[in-house]
Structure 1
């Protein structure tokens, strides 16, 4: 199977864009993730899939973390945490109860480590949700290798 073609096929599934944040010995750390999903309502669990080649793997092991769901106007933040940092950070850190989070994200979900599984070239981290909050707005999405947006008419 051609891995690149499989990736192109999977790119036809539009996803939200998140930044996962956690504490490290060197301070707060974050990385952009679009492989994120809910797993269970009882108990409340979420899943984040992390590439084995990233530094983030070591930061995630047995560590609290926050999934920050980005708004459509946070493309610079997504790129910053995807390894293309800007000279001036396009975000501000905010202290969470369990781990740092990004100020002004569309939503955040703070988690305690629950389980970790082998996922081939990724590691699947399951987090038990401890805190969450969401706001009105439109999400930043990713489709066919590009950022996009979804117009929302939500009355939250």
Structure 2
């Protein structure tokens, strides 16, 4: 990576992201990769995007396969590290149901089960669009990635909610 590439990566690291693990099934064996390049694309049809380095094993696995985006919650740092290539002592716990298109991780804050929609060239990355077929979520706070470290969101002060005009049930 060039000096400019490192500087750009540092600059981009100032954008806080959520942390996901994208999972798929290869011949009955679950696989996953920690990904922070994830975003919603469309509500109609329901599409999401994940971006993976084109030389990664995960990019080869995902091509043309159903996948699940597992949004991690605070306290799931070890799980994120596991799928980033630094496994800990506890193996991940998988959840499978009869309708799963791809395996899901137990305890995820949210899951989005997707079928392949499209894949595109993205320079040194591959961009995968998935059509959301099933989704679920639970209460909790997300795990956040910022400037090369996992972080947690602090509590939102009630005063800031009141002064910003956001009221319960009104997010516009």
TM range (shorter): over 0.9
Structure 2 counterpart of 1:114: 117
Q: Counterparts of 2:86 and 2:30 in 1: how far apart (Å)?
A: 17
Which residue among 68, 75, 78 is the counterpart of 2:77?
75
- Structure number with bigger Rg: 2
Shift of 1:87: 2.9
Q: Secondary structure at the match of 2:82?
A: helix
> Superposed, which structure 2 residues align to 1:1-156 within 5 Å?
2-25=4-27, 27-89=29-91, 91-96=92-97, 97-151=100-154
Normalising by the residue count of structure 2, what TM-score does the alignment of the two structures yield? Answer: 0.85
| Matches of 1:64 and 1:15, distance apart in 2 | 23
In the alignment, the residues of structure 2 paired with residue 94 and residue 103 of structure 1 have an alpha-carbon distance, to the nearest angstrom, of 6
Flag the 1:67–1:75 CA change in 2: closer, same or farther, 3 A: same
Whole-Å Cα distance in 1 between the matches of residues 133 and 155 of structure 2? Answer: 27
Q: Which 4+ stretches in 1 moved above 2 angstroms?
A: none
Please, what TM-score do these two structures have when normalized by structure 1? 0.94
Root-mean-square deviation (CA), in Å? 1.6
Once the two structures are superposed, residues 90-147 of structure 1 have per-residue CA deviations (whole angstroms, 9 ceiling, x without a partner) of: x300014211000110000000000000000000000000000011101000001111
Check 1:69–1:106 CA distance in 2 against 1; reply closer, same or farther (3 A cut).
same
In structure 1, stretches of 5+ residues that fail to align are none
Question: How many residue pairs were aligned?
Answer: 154
Cα offset for 1:20?
0.3
Structure 1 residues 42 and 116: CA distance shift in structure 2, 3 A: same
| Greater strand proportion | 1
- Once the two structures are TM-superposed, the CA of residue 25 in structure 1 deviates from its matched residue by 2.0
